[in-house]
Amino acid sequence: MGNVVYSTDPDFKPKCPNCGEDRDECVCRSETVLSAAQQTAKISREVKGRKGKTVTTISGLQGDLKSLQRELQKYCGTGGSLKDNTMEIQGDQRNRVKDYLESKGYRTKFTGG
């Protein structure tokens, strides 16, 4: 049926594009989350598009990112945000983030320049 935007059928149930099941019964969403030791955090520093301000970004992680984001902000003593499964910590905090994530059991990798 493709990507249905609107249907007048009162019994219509949208299908998952990955598995083809009804969205309510989709098995894709119930994928198991990898443990910390099985995940690699990609840590980088960005300045572009931020009016010259430096931001440390962490991507490539799954699970409860919101609570991990808060813990990182508290550990680094700075602010930050979570956008599209990418955590942002204000300032150049790459080494502190690396130390904290490794203490939690994550593998880390610096990316970018």
pLDDT tens by residue, 40-92: 999 999 998 888 899 999 999 888 889 999 999 999 999 999 988 899 999 99
Average pLDDT value over all residues in the chain: 84
Q: Where are the alpha helices (DSSP H) in the chain?
A: 65-76, 94-103
Q: Say whether pLDDT at 23 is over 80.
A: no
- Strand 55-59, strand 40-46: pairing: antiparallel
The one-letter code for the residue type at 30 is S
The pTM of this model reads 0.69
Amino acid 90: pLDDT: 93
Domain ranges of the chain: 33-110
More confident residue, 29 or 48: 48
- Cα separation, 67 vs 99, whole angstroms: 17
In 3-state terms, what secondary structure has residue 81?
strand
Name the residue with tokens 């219509």. Answer: 12
CATH topology for the 33-110 domain: Translation Initiation Factor Eif1 (3.30.780)
